[in-house]
Amino acid sequence: MTTHSSSIRHVAIALPAKDEEGCLPACLTALDAAAAFYGGPVTVVVLANNCTDGTVGTLRAARLRHARLDWRAVSLLPGARHAGWARRLAFDAAADLLVQPGDILASTDADTCVAPDWIVRMLAHCDAGADAVAGRALTRRADRASLGKRAAGRLNMLGRYYTALDWLRADMTPEAHDPWPRHFYEGGASIALTLDLYRRIGGAPTPSLAEDRALFAAVRAAGGQVRHPLDVRVFTSSRLEGRAPGGMADAFARWIAQDEGEPLHETYAFPAALDPENAVPADQLSFRTLPTAVATAGATIRARRSRAAPQVQPIAIPPLLRDDLDRPVQQVSECGDGVVPGLGIVGLPRPVDQQQVAA
């Protein structure tokens, strides 16, 4: 843990964008509202990479009132056209705008709207001693409904299961710097870390998949403490055609289309779910076996809650959270995010062959 002054920090937000003409205006509006709520200096740095739609035109026309907008368009080499390098270059460009070690480098996704208090709450956790903050990504109610009743039911069941696993992980492996209530999601939709820590890890890792998890792994390897608070929220889409192969959109599409008996990607029965790196194929759940797994996890929680002096306070197992941006932060009992981690890690060399920087 690094102690930094609680004085006004400069914030730079890295935002990679590929063909995000449709989602980008709402994303920028939400970031501008969060900057207004904060009141301190905020710069949004957009890296438009290999765009073939109107993303660049959207950026040219964008006018933020409370944050400064800094954008550039780049073309990545064929072998490096992936989320790892896109986020790394956005991070690096944002980091170059910061000066003080305690300044905050953040990141989100272009199909995501941050909550109005996103910046303020991230900074509050950093002021309390966190070196990095992994926020929650919640799906939008309207998006879930548009997928149909069967699809929404499947996502709801997954959300219930991952909520139960959050409680069990926190109970079995408590961390003093990251106490309950907390979650275990680490995704690119909501990242914050100090400039000092970003420099110490040598910049963001550049795997073609799961660049977000690789970043947090690098933070921990450098001795950084990561906080996973429930009150740092973003609201992301449930689209089924994403921009990053192997990302969340692919996972959503696979979950919705797959047969009931087909194994669920990276979704394991308890207790193997708490140690997925050592899970075996027989531990994988399907939508046919998932309801039983939810019941088993719930029974385990009830049994552990009956012990004397429980380590964490009990929770309910709710469905996916609502996504009203103007509501107060949800109660502690509402703690499932229904979003699972990304996939594997593969590294690549540095990838830019040409770059256009906005005036």
pLDDT number for residue 143 = 79
In degrees, to the nearest 5, what angle opens at C-alpha 310 toward C-alphas 309 and 315? 140
The 10s digit of each residue's pLDDT in 79-101 is 888 889 999 999 999 999 999 99
pLDDT of 312 higher than 90: no
Which residues, including other chains, have CB under 8 Å from residue 135's CB and lie 6 or more apart? 118, 122, 189, 190, 191, 192, 229, 232, 233, 234
Q: What is the mean pLDDT of the chain?
A: 82
Instruction: Evaluate whether residue 5 is within a structural domain.
Output: no
pLDDT at 240: 59
pTM for the model stands at 0.80
Q: What is the mean pLDDT of residues 39-66?
A: 96
Structural domain contains residue 322: yes
What residues contact 247, with CB distance under 8 A and at least 6 apart? 83, 209, 342, 343
Which has the minimum average pLDDT: 45-49, 119-123, 217-221, 237-241?
237-241
Residue 237 has pLDDT above 90, yes or no: no
Note whether residue 4 is domain-resident: no
Q: Is the previous residue joined to 181 through a cis bond, with omega within 30 degrees of 0?
A: yes
| Most confident option among 111-125, 145-159, 341-355 | 111-125
Neighbours of 288 (CB within 10 A): 11
Q: Dump pLDDT digits (tens) for 56-80.
A: 999 999 999 999 999 999 999 888 8
* CA–CA distances in Å: residue 9 to residues 6, 42, 102: 8, 9, 7
Distance between CA atoms of 37 and 31, rounded to whole angstroms?
Answer: 10
Position 246 scores a pLDDT of 60
For 98-102, 244-248, 257-261, which range has the lowest pLDDT when averaged over its residues? 244-248
pLDDT of residue 305: 81
Question: Does 120 reside within a domain?
Answer: yes
Average pLDDT over residues 105-127: 96
- Total domain count for the chain? 1
2 within some domain: no
Per cent of the chain over pLDDT 90 is 57
Prior bond of 101 cis (ω within 30°): no
Q: At 2, is the pLDDT very low, low, confident or very high (cuts 50, 70, 90)?
A: low
- Identify whether 289 is part of a domain: yes
- Residue 1 included in any domain: no
Which range, 216-220, 239-243, 315-319, has the best average confidence (pLDDT)?
A: 216-220
pLDDT (mean) for 212-239:
92
CATH number for the domain harbouring residue 159? 3.90.550.10
Which pLDDT belongs to residue 225?
95
**Range of 49's domain?**
11-357
The H-or-E segment that residue 226 falls in is strand 226-227
Query: Could you tell me if 180 and 313 are in contact, meaning their C-beta atoms sit under 8 angstroms apart?
Result: yes
Backbone region of residue 37 per phi and psi (left: phi > 0; alpha: psi in -120 to 50; beta: other values): alpha
